[in-house]
Amino acid sequence: MSEATREVEYEQMLLGRHSFLHQRAGRRRHGALERSAYILLSRLEVQGPMSIGELSDAFGLDASTLNRQTAAMLRAGLAERVPDPEGGMARKFRMTEAGVDALREEREGVVASLERVMADWPEEDIAAFAAYLRRFNTGIERLSARPWPRP
């Protein structure tokens, strides 16, 4: 393993521990989305209604984990169960208006936090960083055979 790969591993581990972006500098906001809801709602936003089976395939998670996560979103009014729009037997999860609003508010807060973190970065550095992150993520998606649809 190269030294550069070891550095990527370490920095990726550190990135995973930072909850700053979702907690707004250590103060968890009342009503802030849990990380799992943020990710699930983001997927529903770009892909539309999905069943537990489709979510399981998309995330590589077992149905029991997704049942817990979607149940919490249903209780919070962020998603609702609807009949399959294509006539299938499975019911699907769709974002509610409250879910759309919560995701938009959370995303705006995360973007504002990112802007504070990168306030002294030139725009071309931010664009390069975004391109490298996309390349890194699409590499993971390719290896896992779980591409993430992008808007």
25 Cβ neighbours under 8 A, 6+ residues apart:
113
Summarised one tens digit per residue, pLDDT across range 53-76 is 999 999 999 999 999 999 999 999
Q: pTM for this one?
A: 0.85
Question: Distance between CA 89 and CA 54 in Å, rounded?
Answer: 13
- Which residue carries 């779980």 as its tokens? 146
Q: Cα separations (Å) of 57 from 4, 37, 78, 83, 134?
A: 32, 17, 21, 19, 21
What the block records as the tokens of 112 is 């504002």
Cα separation, 128 vs 134, in Å, equals 10
Tokens of 23: 């907690």
pLDDT digits (tens, 9 = 90+) for 11-34: 888 887 776 666 654 444 556 788
